[in-house]
């Protein structure tokens, strides 16, 4: 699609135009009071011209714009705030440039692993190009809503909810996911002259039908990770103890080392309190 180029519409100071209009109306009324028919025709023309100027006034508020067309042709836009005079026969479309929030509904979609999840997002946006918002799409507000939901569905289906191994996931990498979401929204909404300021996931959860099962899986994964960390730490402590004993001159054969490692690991890894056992015999009995 060929994109329309922005241009500023022809405009003049509204107060100056109002003064000219008052002057035309006054001159027309004075001329009409003349009894000469030819002069009265001129007065009518001047008076009608003054009346026609009434349709050319427009007030632009801060963060607001107008898009103008004349006999079906785009003639420009106006963003400069204040009181202005434009072509009185032009048609005008009001476009707000203020920042807006849009909160999507919670939608159900399958993530990259095929698990059904519920997701919702908040999008902060504003109109950057009023000309494109007016002529490139039928309804830019509705267009933004639909494209935001479509982009959210696409995002959720391309990433897993949770990645146990290295890789991006919806839950584990919120910053990277947000940047990806913003980029996709920008590509979708650029044609409508819309700028995406921020896009963030506001709700993320497994679908109710699998929520309990996935919760147990998450708990199991957390327990396994915690056990692995405990064992790795205990092994490091055992290695430190054995190395320190050897530096101090204690000579231990393989069987003694195995017994010490076993006892230390039991004491360090066990969840409950360890009960000491006193050996009244030799180390080997």
Look over the chain and give the mean of its residue pLDDT values, rounded to a whole number.
84
Mean pLDDT of all residues in 52-67:
94
What string of H, E and C letters represents the secondary structure of the chain?
A: CCCCCCCECCCEEHHHHHHHHHHHHHHHHHHHCCCCHHHHHHHHHHHHHHHHHHHHEEEECCCEEEEEEECCEEEEEECCCEEEECCCCCEEEEEECCCEEEECCCEEEECCCCCEEEEEEEEEEEECCHHHHHHCCCCHHHHHHHHHHHHHHHHHHHCCCCCCCCCCCCCCCHHHHHHHHHHHHHHHHHHHCEEEEEEEEEEEEECHHHHHHHHHHHHHHHHHHHHHHHHHHHHHHHHHHHHHHHHCCCCCCHHHHHHHHHHHHHHHHCCCCCCCCCCCCCCCC
Structure tokens at 167: 């890789």
Do 142 and 176 belong together in one domain? yes
**Is 29 a domain residue?**
yes
Write out pLDDT tens, residues 224-272.
Answer: 777 777 777 777 887 787 777 777 777 766 676 677 777 666 666 666 5
Provide the domain limits for residue 238.
211-269
What percent of the chain shows pLDDT beyond 70?
83
Do 153 and 183 belong together in one domain? yes
Do 123 and 179 belong together in one domain? yes
Query: CA triplet 103, 105, 108: central angle to 5 degrees?
Result: 135
Q: Which of 122, 87, 128 is nearest to 103 (CA)?
A: 122
**Is 188 a domain residue?**
yes
Q: What is the pLDDT of residue 143?
A: 95
pLDDT over 60 (residue 282): no
- In degrees and rounded to multiples of 5, residue 89 shows phi and psi of -100, 5
**Is 259 a domain residue?**
yes
The end-to-end CA distance of the chain, in Å, is 89
**Is 5 a domain residue?**
no
How far is 65 from 138, CA to CA, in rounded Å? 18
Mean pLDDT of all residues in 103-115:
89
How far is 217 from 254, CA to CA, in rounded Å? 40
Do 110 and 178 belong together in one domain? yes
pLDDT over 60 (residue 285): no
Do 187 and 221 belong together in one domain? no
pLDDT over 70 (residue 100): yes
Do 110 and 194 belong together in one domain? yes
Last residue of a domain, one of 191, 206, 221: 206
CATH code: domain of residue 154: 3.30.479.30
pLDDT over 60 (residue 280): no
Do 108 and 71 belong together in one domain? no
Write out pLDDT tens, residues 204-233.
Answer: 988 877 666 667 766 766 777 777 777 777
Q: What is the pLDDT of residue 268?
A: 65
Write out pLDDT tens, residues 5-41.
Answer: 889 999 999 999 999 999 988 888 888 877 676 777 8
**Is 120 a domain residue?**
yes
Residues 78 and 87: beta-carbon distance below 8 Å: no
Number of domains within the chain: 3
Last residue of a domain, one of 93, 123, 157: 93
Do 67 and 33 belong together in one domain? yes
Last residue of a domain, one of 159, 182, 206: 206
Do 127 and 186 belong together in one domain? yes
């Amino acid at each position: 699609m060929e994109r329309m180029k922005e241009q500023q519409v022809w405009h003049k100071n509204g107060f100056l135009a109002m003064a000219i209009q008052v002057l035309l109306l006054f001159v027309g009324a004075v001329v009409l009071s003349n009894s000469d028919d030819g002069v009265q025709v001129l007065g009518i023309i001047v008076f009608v011209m003054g009346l026609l100027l009434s349709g050319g006034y427009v007030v632009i508020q801060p963060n607001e714009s107008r898009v103008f067309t004349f006999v079906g042709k785009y003639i420009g836009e106006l963003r400069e705030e204040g009181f202005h005079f434009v072509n009185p026969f032009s048609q005008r479309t009001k476009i707000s440039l203020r920042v807006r929030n849009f909160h999507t509904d919670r939608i159900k979609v399958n993530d990259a692993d095929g698990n059904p999840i519920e997701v919702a997002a908040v999008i902060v946006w504003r109109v950057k190009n009023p000309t494109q918002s007016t002529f490139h799409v039928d309804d830019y507000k509705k267009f933004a809503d639909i494209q935001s939901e479509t982009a959210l569905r696409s995002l959720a289906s391309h990433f897993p909810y949770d990645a146990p191994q290295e890789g991006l996931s919806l839950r584990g990498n919120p910053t990277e996911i947000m940047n990806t979401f913003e980029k996709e929204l920008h590509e979708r909404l650029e044609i409508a002259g819309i700028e995406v300021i921020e896009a963030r996931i506001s709700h993320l959860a497994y679908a109710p039908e699998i929520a309990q099962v996935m919760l147990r899986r998450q708990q199991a994964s957390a327990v396994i990770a915690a056990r692995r960390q405990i064992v790795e730490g205990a092994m490091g402590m055992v290695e430190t103890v054995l190395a320190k004993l050897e530096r101090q001159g204690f000579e231990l054969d393989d069987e003694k080392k195995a017994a010490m490692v076993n006892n230390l690991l039991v004491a360090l890894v066990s969840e409950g309190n360890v009960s000491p056992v006193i050996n009244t015999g030799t180390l080997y009995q």
